[in-house]
Chain A
């Protein structure tokens, strides 16, 4: 990194319509986007060398919205809004249309799932960061900021955990500002494992203030600040058979897959389990759950 306080910020914006249509009145999509846009502008203005990348997390797809380092994304301003804002809004609109079109193809699904494709956008972010790493020695310190509101999709548990571990390996912190109603276990774990910050704002109408205070600072300056830390992390996993979040279950000793009920055979690796002991309650291996 050529300068200590330069950051490459990859922002993952949650554009899941099913969440935003049911979100509380204190923060609707309109306000959310406003706050985020101002925040993006702030980052860009903090340093000439700062870079931001915006990735939208939709219901059926994810895509890059904005990359400040690309020449094609530098547009001149037209109208009242600054160039950055109008560009991002334009791209967002296109993305929402694409997402809807993709969703229309899967109309056969009886029930809608309210979760967004967080695993997809995380992977895209990590891929981008990897490309930056390989571009040469002079690059700013990358970090990922997840602006998420949708609840966790437990079917994405494995892929999200893989992404988290890969981020941990590359030493990329994953911060999260969660605007949904209940805490997200996955994102708490992500921040905990990668050394990022997880914030669930109490006053959503001041979302921009939260973003500016906590997430605008580059990684180097973080060592001088005392950023808010959550009281505890929800370490629960989801089981492999039903994808439900569990805190007590069975673990296959060969491949470490987690099940909520006793099975005769592990569905991942096929190893045969012994028959259940008489005292099933005491023989269940507990997964550590801290709260």
Chain B
């Protein structure tokens, strides 16, 4: 889109249902301007594209009017209704391009940094999501003048080669890249912060001595803690607010209850609880918690020795006690209903902290959100834990039955120890006792008896003794031949490889050859990725795709051959070794794939199918004719799969080769 300006008649709306102000929308290089037809209208708009973070639009097939929704970085959305879908498309493309151009203007040099490259790809990804695939090519190319540099290196070359050559469609090409991008964008840690171990709810209220006011400070974090630790309060909040009482009233009551408990004025607590039933909820012990605890107690292994005696009860001993506010807590015998000991509070808090919080930091906006979020997470957890309960019960029963067996009455459990027995080593070293004599193929071709053979040896020796040695022992031509044979490859590069640390084969090649090799490697990798991903071939589209890929692979093979021939002789050998796996993929792999196998649904991903085949084989234990045929089919497919597995290992090995050397 190299045109500088787009102007369309639109209606500007603030929301979808709004009637809209008719006017003109002008899109220029960096800004969009909306001028209403009625000059007195207040809804003028003039903003730069850099403030627009996202844009959405209605799809052509739907019954809605063509609308474009632009979201600014401050969260405001501007909706424009167009007269036709073509207008919408034009404007949308312009906006999309402008988004991409945003980075283009920052300067090409900065784009070298990987971070920003990802940002660009991120934008492209967003762009793709919002646009049908056919539009991508033209728009991206239009914007590519400044982003050219970044895409130039590998991506654009690949793009040109495959998409331009018609081997892959745009969508397929970017599909794999999308996955890469998603992985990067999700790298923001989704780690939740934990809860503080200090008991926030214990923070003292601000007590104003002059006026009789007690001020409690409740932050969303404190609220979260309260809801986590006291499920009854959480339930009460969900039930009462906003139906029965306002948020503020609820918290006022809660804080009053807290104050009462802290003041340890039991009588006052009882009195107030009798009056106000909501307050009573806060003062009573938490019944949800009690139920949970009872359930947990039931699940404890009954064989656990939990014997206690009076010595374990230290809370009632005279000099023991836990100081909370500086004063010793002496729990009274009666009225334990309205009392909470420090122990209980601490235990509960610790349990909650260890459990962690199921909601994120950004959900701590206000009390309502916190409550809802916690409720949602609790519901999820309860559905998940229902199965756990039943299985836990079964395990418990099993554990009980096992623990109840009495050791003395059990049968003897002697493990049969095999006695150590090692064969006499002389059996090995004594070659005369070897069982069979299939030692060598060329065992005894001679028809001579042993006496004759020995005679030959003796004859040779006496010959030397009498005649002496030849002069010269070795003829000079022979010696020269031998010397050249032994030394001919000393100058070859293969002896120099690996001698210097840090040097790799690819670095020692001339740059043009190296670049070409790397490009071939990347292209073949790309092709193979698409090839493997289109299995199993279940429809015609995939079939054509695979055929196209195969043709492209054979083209690559001829290119590799040409490269090999064009290169100098001394490095030709190295290049041959390097590209041999690439060529093997083409020579060996594609012709070997019988087309029938490709189409059959059995030709699935190798490891799964292998397992499946094994299992099916085990199932086909009968010998009816149909099952025999099944077995034969499976056998054949298994052999093909083994072959395919070999090819896969080839591919993997080749990949590894390049990873190591590059």
A243-282: which have CB < 8 Å to B?
243-244, 255, 267-272, 278-279, 282
Q: Which residues of A contact B470 (CB under 8 A)?
A: 34
* C-alpha gap A75/B245 in the complex (Å): 124
**Least Cβ–Cβ distance between A274 and chain B, in angstroms:** 14
* A76 close to B (CB within 8 Å): no
B614-638: which have CB < 8 Å to A?
614, 617-618
Docked-complex contact A33 and B438, CB < 8 angstroms = no
B388-434: which have CB < 8 Å to A?
418, 420-423, 428-429, 431-432, 434
Q: Interface 1/0s, chain A 110-144, versus B by CB < 8 A?
A: 01111100000000000000000000000000000
| With A35-B473, A111-B437, A271-B418: A30-B463 Cβ-Cβ less than 8 Å | yes
Q: Which residues of A contact B483 (CB under 8 A)?
A: 209, 213
Q: Interface 1/0s, chain B 458-475, versus A by CB < 8 A?
A: 101111110011100111
* A202 close to B (CB within 8 Å): yes
Docked-complex contact B464 and A103, CB < 8 angstroms = no
Docked-complex contact A203 and B454, CB < 8 angstroms = no
Q: Interface 1/0s, chain B 114-133, versus A by CB < 8 A?
A: 00000000000000000000
Docked-complex contact A33 and B460, CB < 8 angstroms = yes
| With A22-B446, A113-B439: A33-B614 Cβ-Cβ less than 8 Å | no
* C-alpha gap A153/B439 in the complex (Å): 6
Q: Which residues of B contact A203 (CB under 8 A)?
A: 478, 481-482, 485
* C-alpha gap A213/B422 in the complex (Å): 47
Docked-complex contact B434 and A243, CB < 8 angstroms = yes
Contact of A213 among B428, B486, B617 (CB under 8 A): B486
Nearest CB in chain B to that of A35: its residue: B473
**Least Cβ–Cβ distance between B459 and chain A, in angstroms:** 8
Nearest CB in chain B to that of A34: its residue: B469
Q: Which residues of B contact A219 (CB under 8 A)?
A: none
Q: Which residues of A contact B617 (CB under 8 A)?
A: 278-279
* C-alpha gap A207/B478 in the complex (Å): 9
* C-alpha gap A181/B442 in the complex (Å): 9
| With A96-B457, A278-B617: A228-B440 Cβ-Cβ less than 8 Å | no
* C-alpha gap A21/B444 in the complex (Å): 10
A37-59: which have CB < 8 Å to B?
37-38
Docked-complex contact B437 and A21, CB < 8 angstroms = no
Docked-complex contact A270 and B474, CB < 8 angstroms = no
Contact of B453 among A17, A80, A255 (CB under 8 A): A17
* B335 close to A (CB within 8 Å): no
| With A20-B457, A29-B460, A228-B486: A100-B474 Cβ-Cβ less than 8 Å | no
Nearest CB in chain A to that of B469: its residue: A34
* C-alpha gap A253/B58 in the complex (Å): 68
Docked-complex contact A155 and B431, CB < 8 angstroms = yes
What band does the interface of chain A fall in when counting residues whose beta carbon is under 8 Å from B? Answer: 35 or more
Docked-complex contact A93 and B461, CB < 8 angstroms = yes
Nearest CB in chain A to that of B437: its residue: A111
**Least Cβ–Cβ distance between A222 and chain B, in angstroms:** 14
* C-alpha gap A204/B163 in the complex (Å): 60
* A63 close to B (CB within 8 Å): no
Q: Which residues of B contact A206 (CB under 8 A)?
A: 474-475, 478-479, 481-482
Q: Which residues of B contact A96 (CB under 8 A)?
A: 454, 457-458, 461
B78-107: which have CB < 8 Å to A?
none
Q: Interface 1/0s, chain A 180-212, versus B by CB < 8 A?
A: 011000000000000000000111011111100
* A152 close to B (CB within 8 Å): yes
**Least Cβ–Cβ distance between B449 and chain A, in angstroms:** 9
Contact of A100 among B454, B464, B478, B485 (CB under 8 A): B454
Docked-complex contact B482 and A213, CB < 8 angstroms = yes
* A62 close to B (CB within 8 Å): no
Of the listed stretches A2-10, A84-92, A169-177, name the one at the interface; the rest are far from the partner chain: A84-92
* C-alpha gap A38/B468 in the complex (Å): 11
B467-509: which have CB < 8 Å to A?
468-470, 473-475, 478-479, 481-483, 485-486, 490, 495
Docked-complex contact B460 and A182, CB < 8 angstroms = no
* A61 close to B (CB within 8 Å): no
* A106 close to B (CB within 8 Å): yes
**Least Cβ–Cβ distance between B435 and chain A, in angstroms:** 7
Contact of A151 among B442, B464, B469, B475 (CB under 8 A): B442
Docked-complex contact A92 and B461, CB < 8 angstroms = yes
* A158 close to B (CB within 8 Å): yes
Q: Which residues of B contact A152 (CB under 8 A)?
A: 439-440
Nearest CB in chain B to that of A207: its residue: B474
* A83 close to B (CB within 8 Å): no
Docked-complex contact B453 and A20, CB < 8 angstroms = yes
* A217 close to B (CB within 8 Å): no
| With A34-B469, A206-B481, A213-B483: A99-B454 Cβ-Cβ less than 8 Å | yes
Docked-complex contact A17 and B456, CB < 8 angstroms = yes
Contacts A153-B440, A158-B428 known; list 15 others, CB within 8 Å. Answer: A17-B450, A17-B457, A18-B444, A20-B457, A29-B456, A29-B460, A34-B464, A34-B473, A81-B469, A114-B443, A158-B429, A203-B485, A228-B486, A270-B418, A279-B614
- Report which A residues bind B (CB closer than 8 A): 15, 17-18, 20-22, 28-30, 33-35, 37-38, 80-81, 85-86, 89, 92-93, 96-97, 99-100, 103-104, 106, 109, 111-115, 151-156, 158-159, 181-182, 201-203, 205-210, 213-214, 226, 228, 240-244, 255, 267-272, 278-279, 282
- Report which B residues bind A (CB closer than 8 A): 418, 420-423, 428-429, 431-432, 434-440, 442-446, 448, 450-454, 456-458, 460-465, 468-470, 473-475, 478-479, 481-483, 485-486, 490, 495, 614, 617-618
Name 17 A/B residue pairs within 8 A (Cβ), A-sorted. A20-B457, A81-B469, A96-B457, A100-B451, A111-B443, A114-B444, A115-B439, A151-B440, A153-B431, A153-B439, A155-B431, A155-B439, A158-B429, A214-B486, A242-B435, A270-B422, A271-B418
